[in-house]
Structure 1
Amino acid sequence: MCEELTLRDTTRQIGSSKFPAANDPLGEILHQLRLDGSLYCRSTLFGDWSLAMPVLTGKMMFHIISHGQCWLTIEGEAPQLLKQGSLVLVPHGLGHSLCRDPGLEATPLFEAGIKQVSERYETLQMGEESEGELTELTCGLISFDQFAAKQLIQMLPPLIMLETLAQSKSRWLNASLDLIAAEARQLKPGGETIITHLADILVIQLIRHWLEESPEANQGWLGALRDKHLGIALRAIHHQPQKNWTVDSLARECGMSRSGFSAHFTSLVGNTVKNYLTHWRMNLAYQRLQKKSEPLIILAEEFGYSSEAAFSRAFKRVMGVSPSQIGSSLL
C-alpha cells in the first residue's frame, strides 16, 4: 500500500487555501480506502453444499465465482444467483449464506473443515468429485482504515454485485478474475501478494461501479462531495483540518453567501458545518492516537485548537472518551 502522508506533509503540498473543483471528487476518498487484505480462502465445492458466513463487524467480504454457480442469501434481501464470473461485495460484514440451493441447511464456515495454508491464505473442500457439480469460489475478508473511507462504506448498500460490464471493461475484469483463480490454485511464491493487490483493485472497481450507476450515490455526503460548491468546502476541510475554518470562510471558499451555504450544507450532508468540521477533526485525531501516543498540545495545534483543554473537551464530546484514554491503551 502507499505510504501515508503526515498532516504537515499534506498541508505543505497544498500550499494554498483555494481548492478548485476536482475533476474526480470521489477519487481521493477511493484512494483513502487503503484496504488491508486480511484473509483469503479458495473453496472447492461438490454436489449439494451450503455455507453460513458469520457476522464480521468492521470488515468487508467479497466472493468471486470462478467456476459453476451458487446462491447468496442475506437477511432483508432477495436471494441472488451468482453465475461464473460474478463478483459480489458485502460491505458491512453482515452474516450471509452461500449455497448450491437456498433450501439446504447451512454449515457454519468455521465448522466446514477449513485448512490454513499460510497466515493469510486458506483452502476449503466440501464433498467429492463423484458427488455432483463443481463450484469454485475465492473469498476475501478485508479491513479498512481512514475516516473518509468509513464515511463512504457506511453509505454502501448491503450487497454490491457486478455481473456484466461494457466489453472494454469486461476484458480486464475477466483477466483479473482468471489470474486470481490461477494464483489461488497454484500457490506459487508471491501468489498471496498478487491476489491481495488484484483483490483490492476489484473491490474498488465494485464500489466505483456502484458510485457510477446508483442514484443513491448522488445523495447525502456523496452528493455533497460532487456538488460544485459544497465539494470545494468539503475538500478544504479534508485537506486543511488545522485551519481556523468558520462558516463565513468556507462560504467564501465556495462562492456562496453564508446563509445559503449553511442551509445547503445541512440539507445535503445532514449535519451543520460546525459539527461536521469538529467530527472530522476528532476522528482524524482518534486515528492518530490509535497508531501512536502523541502530546495532546501537538494534536490540539494541528487540528485547529488553541489549547489542550479545548481539544480534549471536543474530543470527549465527539468520541465519548478522553484522548488520554486512547493514548494510554497503547502503553
Structure 2
Amino acid sequence: MQQQTAGHDPATGPADRATRSDLTPPLPDLFEAALRRLRLEGAVFLRAEYREPWAYESLPGPATAHILRPGTDRVILFHVVAGGTCWVQVGDQEKHWASAGDVIVLPYGDQHSMGGIGESETVPIMTFMPAPPWPRMPLLRAGADGDLTDVVCGYLHSDDVLFDPSLRVFPSAFVVRPSGAAGAAWVRANVDYALAQADVAPFGPDAIPTRLPEMLLVEVLRQHLATAPAVDQGWLAALHDPVLNPALSALHAAPERKWTVTDLARVAAVSRSGFDDRFRQVLGRSPIRYLTEWRMHLAQDLLASTDLGVAAVARRVGYDAEEAFSRAFKRTYGKAPGLWRGDHALRRP
C-alpha cells in the first residue's frame, strides 16, 4: 500500500531561532506576548511500539488528565513520531497524518483516535495499556506483525487562556515538523535523554528532568500561529481582525483600566454598536465579559506565581475593592483567591 504523505505545518526548531524571521511571517505582538507568558509543567509519560495494522481510541480528555495530573480536567498532549507513519483524529474531524520526526499536538487533550496505514479495528487504549498508577514509564505495544511505528508521548498542564477550550485558539489536533537537521536532531536528543531517564526515575509530573515538553510546545505553537490559515471566529481570528486587534492590544496592555465598550470602540476607530456587534460575532461574548474573563485569568497567574497579596492582585487587574475582586474570583473559580492560591501556587526551588 502506498504510504500516506504526512500533512503538517512546517515548524521551526529551537536551534533555528536565529533564522526564524526568514522562514515564517512575524507573529502579532499579542501572540508573542502570550507565548512569553506561558507557564507549563509536564513530562514525557509513555512510549509506544505499534505494528501494522493498528488503531486505538484514547480515554476521554478528563480521564486522561486525571491519570497524568490528578486534580485537573484537561492537559495538553503531544506525540513525537520517532519512526513510521500514523494518523490522529478527534471525533469525526479530518485525519492528520504524521511521519518520523513530526510532532502531533492535541492542545485541549481531547479524546482522539490514532492508527497506522493499514485498515484495522479501532480498540480502546485500555485493552493494551496497563492500569495506573505506573511505577515506571509504560511501554505500550499494540497491533499485529507489520511495519513498526514508534511514538513518544508527553503532556503539559497550563491554565493559560491560550488553552481555554471555549476560545479554541487552536484546532483540536495538528501536526508540525521541526524544520532543518538541527531542529530534528534537537528533538531526537531530548527524546532519547527522556527515555534513558525513564529507566531509573519513578513516574510523576517531575519524573523526567527535561524541558522537552515546554520548549517543544512553545516552538510548535509559534510556528502554527504564524502559518495558520485565516479563520472566521475565535481568538486567532480576533487578533488578525483590523477592528478587534487594536482594541484587544490596548485591553491586554492595560487590563486595570476602567474600560468601557465606548473606550474600546474609540481605540478601534469604529462606532460603539459596530464594535460590540463585531466583538460578539468573532469572540462569541461581549467585550465586558471578555475583559472580566481576562482579568480573572491574570489574577490566577499572579496568585500562582507571585507573593503579591490578594488586595494587590485585585488592583493589578482593575478592582479597587478586594471584596469585589474576591466575589468575582469565587464566582468564576468556585474558591476565594486565598484558598485557590493554596491549591495552585507554583512550586519554587
Structure-1-length-normalised TM-score: 0.71
Q: Point out where structure 1 has 5 or more consecutive residues left out of the alignment.
A: 1-21
1:6 corresponding residue in structure 2? none
Q: Label 1:259 to 1:171 Cα distance change in 2 as closer, same or farther (>3 A).
A: same
RMSD: 4.1
Partners in 2 of 1:159 and 1:186 — Cα distance? 28
Match of 1:87 among 90, 99, 103: 103
Q: Is the 8 A contact 2:89 2:173 kept in 1?
A: no
Number of positions where the alignment pairs a residue of Structure 1 with one of Structure 2? 300
2:234 matched residue in structure 1: 220
1:26 and 2:43 equivalent?
Answer: no
| Deviation larger for 179-188 or 28-37 | 179-188
What pairs up with 1:6-25 in 2 under 5 angstroms? Answer: 24-25=29-30
Instruction: In structure 1, give the amino acid aligned to 2:184.
Output: N
CA distance in structure 2 between the partners assigned to 1:87 and 1:39 by the alignment: 13
Contact 1:43 1:124 in 2 (8 A): yes
Aligned mate of 1:273, from 269, 273, 287? 287
1:132–1:113 distance in 2 versus 1, CA, 3 Å: farther
- Paired with 1:46 and 1:267, the residues of 2 have a C-alpha distance of 46
- Please, which of 37, 42, 60 is the counterpart of residue 37 of structure 1? 42
Q: Residue 301 in 1 paired to residue 315 in 2?
A: yes
Contact 1:262–1:273 (Cα < 8 Å) also in 2: yes
> What is the CA deviation profile of residues 178-199 of structure 1, one whole-angstrom value per residue up to 9, with x for unaligned ones?
32443355449999444x33x4
Q: How many Å apart are 1:256 and its aligned residue?
A: 4.8
- Superposed counterparts of 1:78-157, under 5 Å: 78-100=94-116, 101-106=118-123, 108-109=125-126, 111-113=128-130, 122-126=137-141, 131-150=145-164, 154-157=168-171
Change (3 A) 1:275 1:38: same
Q: Deviations over 1:223-269 (max 9, x none)?
A: 22233453232233223222222334434445555455444434433
Unmatched segments (≥5 aa) in structure 2: 1-26, 63-73, 202-206, 345-349
Structure 1 residues 236 and 111 mapped into 2: Cα distance closer, same or farther (>3 Å)?
same
Q: How many Å apart are 1:124 and its aligned residue? A: 0.5
Q: CA deviation at 1:103?
A: 1.8
- Say if 1:98 and 1:219 are closer, same or farther in 2 by CA, change over 3 A: closer
For residue 226 of structure 1, what is the amino acid of its counterpart? H
Partner of 1:176: 186
Matched, 1:323 2:340: no
TM-score with structure 2 length normalisation?
A: 0.68
Determine the C-alpha separation between the residues in 2 that align with 1:200 and 1:320: 26
Matched residue, 2:324 = 310
Matched position secondary structure for 1:26: helix
Question: Residue 236 and residue 44 in structure 1: after superposition, are their counterparts in 2 closer, same or farther (change >3 A)?
Answer: same
Q: Deviations over 1:96-125 (max 9, x none)?
A: 23334452352525853489997xx72405
Distance 1:320 1:49, change over 3 A: closer
Where does 1:287-298 land on structure 2 (aligned, <5 Å)?
Answer: 287-289=301-303, 296-298=310-312
CA contact (8 A) 1:300 1:306 kept: yes
Structure 2: distance between partners of 1:328 and 1:170: 42
Q: Distance in 1 between matches of 2:30 and 2:308?
A: 32
Q: Which structure has the bigger radius of gyration?
A: 1
Q: 2:19: which partner in 1?
A: none
C-alpha displacement of 1:149: 4.6
**How much has 1:316 moved relative to structure 2?**
4.8
**Identity in percent:** 26
The one-letter amino acid of 1:247's match is V
Partner of 2:59: 54
| Per-residue deviation, residues 1-30 of structure 1 (Å, max 9, x unmatched) | xxxxxxxxxxxxxxxxxxxxx853311122
